[in-house]
Structure 1
């Protein structure tokens, strides 16, 4: 019994015609008829009633049709599975990460994928979140870990990894240092040190400014949390970072929750809609790595703050 015999038999059964079945499988009508007769001889039963102008199934044919379809479906599934593995033997993926990324589960996922599929070349690049998201949408980057203000960035698939509020950080002796919290209106009275435009944290801050109709003075912009904190310690302005970022600077700065910013800063995994076995498998590795991370949210390596820029 051959797969092509089953294929031709199914075509005749579904088309109710040897002529239309031949057109469907693109061989001669005599070829279809010969293959179906060969199948009937092997099974020892007539599958197609040829006594009328319409090719109809016999009782044996109706029973055989179900199994023929199932066999062909299994064959297609096997081809697809083998094709996916073959496609992963070689290839290339471009992976982006937000500047300052030290997220352990992300690195674990990349390492595990590389060991499992060493034939797939991974190009790793670092950039601001807005540019990474743009490149994911265009297809220039396959997958990226970014900071964002939107749970589901338009034009990409997304998985939120971290969601946390923004805080203001001030040094001892600062006018705000004795307050338990701070508002956007109060922040507007002071110079700010924050991340540049295009980062998730800055987007959340800018949206809050627009919502509350305030225009704070941003004196310094920096991509690294350490630089922002050091500048705040030296009195150049109030630092605005995410909650987890602030934890490394508790010995030098006081973190004040900003009570009227409702939107959190997010760290998200985004990837393109490209049908790629390698990309699909890498996304699975990332999902598994983040799901296995301890605690309610994945923590960064050592004491490095989570970059949601």
Structure 2
């Protein structure tokens, strides 16, 4: 069994079309067909079956795909670590992060690290809360920032960097817009603009409102922070967002107001794998961010 056979197999499985896979990886279609045939002969099973002009995985093909992807991720990771040990100052750090940390948190952390490590590069992957946890477990990335920090389990190590309050964002013409603070119960009759169900900031808002004694009436949903803020600015409703999602001032036509009761907070932190070693540049970055936020907390 050869690595190229696994790579060809995964590409065809992903595209369900041999010629499209051949075009993507710049290899002759006949070469891909031959290598997959050799792989099937070696395994003694059929991995694909015809589906019109396309192909699709057989049940055993689906099983093999899962293991083939895991094997290639492990090999690619091993190669990356070897490259970094040969030249630790020029590593590439893959980081996952959610949309709520994109505008201020990530640029601050990366620029601060790059000041001391100019030759280290980054590959950034934005994703949902569950996706980022699974990505660390499945070797797709080794470091992910999350808020709130998940419960530690057998596969991931967690570290809390800081805790932040959740505030209300209101249209600037809202009757409560001039208040210095509000009780969350003051918004019980309002229409809310929230992230879709299944996203962690949706759940944080729902839980906060239930803590205040009501279930929010969700009138609109936005897939990202800009959409949420834009809908609030347009007067479509109110929302709840973490402090780190705001710049120096809230968006135009909106007002950010602290919630005095109940106090709603979330933790923000980082997760790394427990059962595999970080590459040298990843170790350096992990140590840096822990020290960076420790010093920031001491200063504050």
Query: TM-score w.r.t. structure 2 length?
Result: 0.57
Which one of the candidate residues 115, 119, 123 is aligned to 1:115? 119
d(CA) in 1 for partners of 2:274 and 2:264?
27
Shifted more, 85-94 versus 267-276: the winner is 85-94
- Whether the 8 Å contact between 1:196 and 1:222 is mirrored in structure 2 is yes
- Whether the 8 Å contact between 2:144 and 2:272 is mirrored in structure 1 is yes
After TM superposition, give the deviation of residue 200 of structure 1 in Å: 4.2
- Which residue does the alignment assign to 2:4? none
3-state SS, counterpart of residue 165 of structure 1: strand
d(CA) in 2 for partners of 1:292 and 1:94?
19
Q: CA distance change for structure 1 residues 177 and 127 in 2, over 3 Å: closer, same or farther?
A: same
d(CA) in 2 for partners of 1:92 and 1:138?
18
3-state SS, counterpart of residue 220 of structure 1: strand
After TM superposition, give the deviation of residue 207 of structure 1 in Å: 2.1
d(CA) in 1 for partners of 2:219 and 2:298?
32
- Which residue does the alignment assign to 1:29? none
- Which residue does the alignment assign to 2:242? 242
d(CA) in 2 for partners of 1:97 and 1:112?
22
Q: CA distance change for structure 1 residues 295 and 94 in 2, over 3 Å: closer, same or farther?
A: closer
Deviations along 1:79-103, one digit per CA (max 9) or x if unpaired, are: xxxxx87773499865312236242
3-state SS, counterpart of residue 210 of structure 2: helix
Q: CA distance change for structure 1 residues 218 and 283 in 2, over 3 Å: closer, same or farther?
A: farther
After TM superposition, give the deviation of residue 219 of structure 1 in Å: 2.0
Q: CA distance change for structure 1 residues 263 and 271 in 2, over 3 Å: closer, same or farther?
A: farther
After TM superposition, give the deviation of residue 190 of structure 1 in Å: 0.4
After TM superposition, give the deviation of residue 271 of structure 1 in Å: 1.1
Which one of the candidate residues 75, 85, 89 is aligned to 1:88? 85
- Which residue does the alignment assign to 2:173? 173
Q: CA distance change for structure 1 residues 115 and 105 in 2, over 3 Å: closer, same or farther?
A: same
Instruction: List alignment gaps of at least 5 residues for structure 2.
Output: 1-80
d(CA) in 2 for partners of 1:110 and 1:130?
28
Instruction: List alignment gaps of at least 5 residues for structure 1.
Output: 1-83, 299-309
3-state SS, counterpart of residue 192 of structure 1: strand
3-state SS, counterpart of residue 137 of structure 2: helix
Over alpha carbons, which structure has the higher Rg? 1
